[in-house]
Chain A
Amino acid sequence: MREFRYEQAPDAAGAVALLAGAPGGAFLGGGTNLVDLMKLGVATPDVLVDVRELTSREITDLPDGGLRIGAGVPNADLAADRRVRERFPVLSQALLAGASGQLRNRATTGGNLLQRTRCGYFTDVTKPCNKRAPGSGCGALEGVHRNHAILGQTLEGPGTCVATHPSDMAVAMLAVDAVVRVLGPDGERAVPIAELHRLPGDDPSRDTTLRHGELITAIDLPALAFPSRYRKARERASFAFALVSVAAALRVEDGVVRDVRLALGGVAHKPWRVQAAEQALVGGPATEEAFAAAARAELDAATPLRDNRFKVPLARNLVVRTLLDLVEVSR
């Protein structure tokens, strides 16, 4: 691990100011991913600004029935919060499906959104990775990539990257249209979560659209008035990253889909909103056939790699089964 200076600030604005003056610095939240990456030499900040106690650890009600989650709320507390469990079960379930009890206790909500990929080439500094070392190549493209992306990858050129975003929580937040509140050197701004994470494009080194020194202070969840759920498929029963996961919310009336939110995890460089399927479903029948057709509409665009073609039928099945389960709940 590279040597670094450890800084504390009186408040969030102070932390932002500190980091603005430290181009090689980073915010430290729960540290469950950053400290891990620092040990690997993947992250090499020269200054750590501790923000763990600086952003809110409260969950507060919004007037519309939604919730505002302080960025410092530990994942475990968020998952266990009564209001989250009642109004956003998809989010509780996503959090509980992620990591371990210990990690959830320490990891923060803001930090969870900023997790970096667990691609084995990214985390090994002796191997090529365009995300970690731009221009060095993508080891995974022709290498070990069973758990890599099937959608939205960059498959050629200097930006080649087939990594996936590892967060479960972010997938659920995407499905419920969360808004990320950010404090930066130039003040506050609100970022719809769909605009927070990005595809690799020609610069896979950037996971998000945040600028250096911007600090996530809170996440707003707009009210969700219909059933939701999260389902994750993984290679062991617990404590494993998703092969594919789905976050879904569904409003059905008289057998007709009135509203649907669908997002996939484990399939792309960012949590993947399943827009084609959503559009195909609204106004149509809430049947297995319709769900399967909608899933296909989205997954026809998939560009799986040599060894992860299974993710296409897996994602399709998860979408269909989760929506059917939600129809069941709606009855």
Chain B
Amino acid sequence: MDTEITLRVDGAAHPLTVDTRTTLLDALRERLRNTSPKKGCDHGQCGACTVLLDGRRVNSCLVLAVTVGDAEVTTSDGLAADGQPHRLHRSFVEYDAFQCGYCTPGQVCSAMGVLAEARAGWPSAVTGDLDDADVDLTDAEIRERMSGNLCRCAAYANIVPAVAAVAQAEGVRR
């Protein structure tokens, strides 16, 4: 069933017609030809489609496009301001935090979410003391928090320092 919507993606508004069945991921990839979020499983099991929806990381493959409304969608590509790579982009390249690169934009968006969640004081499954107000993004915390993004090339051991370097710079890692 076709429906008219307007998607706000990376700072631009895109009026488009979607099927009610169209996911946000397919709207981005197949309708808007935005190649940044990737399809790796289409069921929320790999994280390759991760985007920020009003600043929160979500699996865009499980979000129906018709439900997005006027929420702002940010892809990894959209994190680059004025054509300049984001600090996470540079860190991922510097630490070689990927190989084939297919899961990578999702990893980058997820890392953005991890940093925001840490700033907000959110705990994780490996946080020892739930009463602790400040999050310290240790390696173990980064591993756990990034575990919703599978990397079959298994660049995990490089993703951790890539995120850690930015966390350090942003004051959420001691």
Show the binding face of A for B, using Cβ within 8 Å. 1, 3-6, 28, 30-32, 35-36, 38-40, 48, 50, 52, 76, 79-80, 85-86, 89, 92-93, 96-97, 99-103, 105-106, 237-239
9 sample A-B contacts, Cβ–Cβ < 8 Å, listed by A number = A6-B3, A31-B63, A48-B64, A80-B117, A99-B148, A100-B44, A100-B147, A101-B114, A238-B143
B75-83, B84-92, B124-132: which lies at the interface: B124-132
Contact status A3-B124, CB under 8 Å: no
Contact status B59-A103, CB under 8 Å: yes
Instruction: Answer whether residue B50 sits at the interface, using C-beta atoms and an 8 A cutoff.
Output: yes
Give Cα A325–Cα B113 distance, bound, in whole angstroms. Answer: 32
B149 cross-chain contacts in A, Cβ below 8 A: 100
A35, A38, A93: the one contacting B125 at CB < 8 Å is: A93
A31, A38, A85, A96: the one contacting B67 at CB < 8 Å is: A31
Give Cα A48–Cα B113 distance, bound, in whole angstroms. Answer: 29
Give Cα A31–Cα B58 distance, bound, in whole angstroms. Answer: 11
Contact status B62-A32, CB under 8 Å: yes
Q: Quick one: which of A48, A76, A86, A105 has the most chain B CB within 10 A?
A: A105
Contact status A36-B62, CB under 8 Å: yes
In this complex, how many residues of chain B approach chain A with their Cβ under 8 Å: the count is 39
Instruction: Answer whether residue B35 sits at the interface, using C-beta atoms and an 8 A cutoff.
Output: no
Give Cα A86–Cα B129 distance, bound, in whole angstroms. Answer: 10
Given the interface pairs A5-B1, A102-B58, the reply to whether A80 lies near B121 with Cβ below 8 Å is: yes
Q: Quick one: which of B47, B121, B148 has the most chain A CB within 10 A?
A: B148
Q: Quick one: which of B3, B57, B110 has the most chain A CB within 10 A?
A: B57
A38 cross-chain contacts in B, Cβ below 8 A: 21
Residue on A nearest B117 in the bound complex, by CB:
A101
B19 cross-chain contacts in A, Cβ below 8 A: 3
Contact status A102-B64, CB under 8 Å: no
Give Cα A48–Cα B145 distance, bound, in whole angstroms. Answer: 32
Given the interface pairs A5-B1, A85-B123, A238-B147, the reply to whether A102 lies near B130 with Cβ below 8 Å is: no
Given the interface pairs A39-B42, A80-B121, the reply to whether A85 lies near B130 with Cβ below 8 Å is: yes
Residue on B nearest A80 in the bound complex, by CB:
B122
Given the interface pairs A6-B3, A31-B64, the reply to whether A105 lies near B113 with Cβ below 8 Å is: yes
A-B contact count (CB 8 A): 110
Task: List 8 extra interface pairs beyond A32-B62, A103-B62, CB under 8 A.
Answer: A31-B63, A35-B64, A79-B122, A101-B113, A101-B114, A102-B110, A102-B148, A238-B144
Residue on A nearest B65 in the bound complex, by CB:
A6
Show the binding face of B for A, using Cβ within 8 Å. 1, 3, 19-21, 23, 42-44, 47, 50, 56-59, 62-64, 66-67, 110, 113-114, 117, 120-125, 127, 130-131, 143-145, 147-149
How far is the CB of A20 from the nearest CB of chain B, in Å?
21
B21, B44, B66: the one contacting A3 at CB < 8 Å is: B21
How far is the CB of A222 from the nearest CB of chain B, in Å?
20
| 6 A-B pairs with least C-beta separation | A100-B148, A238-B147, A80-B122, A85-B130, A96-B125, A6-B20
Contact status A79-B67, CB under 8 Å: no
Give Cα A39–Cα B22 distance, bound, in whole angstroms. Answer: 11
Residue on B nearest A88 in the bound complex, by CB:
B130
Residue on A nearest B42 in the bound complex, by CB:
A39
B20, B50, B130: the one contacting A93 at CB < 8 Å is: B130
Residue on B nearest A236 in the bound complex, by CB:
B147
Contact status B125-A4, CB under 8 Å: no
Contact status B57-A96, CB under 8 Å: no
A93 cross-chain contacts in B, Cβ below 8 A: 125, 130
B110 cross-chain contacts in A, Cβ below 8 A: 101-102
B21, B63, B122, B131: the one contacting A1 at CB < 8 Å is: B21
Contact status B123-A96, CB under 8 Å: yes
Residue on B nearest A5 in the bound complex, by CB:
B1
Give Cα A105–Cα B58 distance, bound, in whole angstroms. Answer: 6
B47, B66, B148: the one contacting A6 at CB < 8 Å is: B66
How far is the CB of A79 from the nearest CB of chain B, in Å?
7
Contact status B59-A52, CB under 8 Å: no
Contact status A239-B148, CB under 8 Å: yes
Residue on A nearest B145 in the bound complex, by CB:
A101
B56 cross-chain contacts in A, Cβ below 8 A: 76, 105
Residue on A nearest B121 in the bound complex, by CB:
A80
Give Cα A39–Cα B110 distance, bound, in whole angstroms. Answer: 24
B3, B121, B124, B130: the one contacting A89 at CB < 8 Å is: B130
Contact status B147-A106, CB under 8 Å: no
How far is the CB of B83 from the nearest CB of chain A, in Å?
27
A4 cross-chain contacts in B, Cβ below 8 A: 1, 20-21
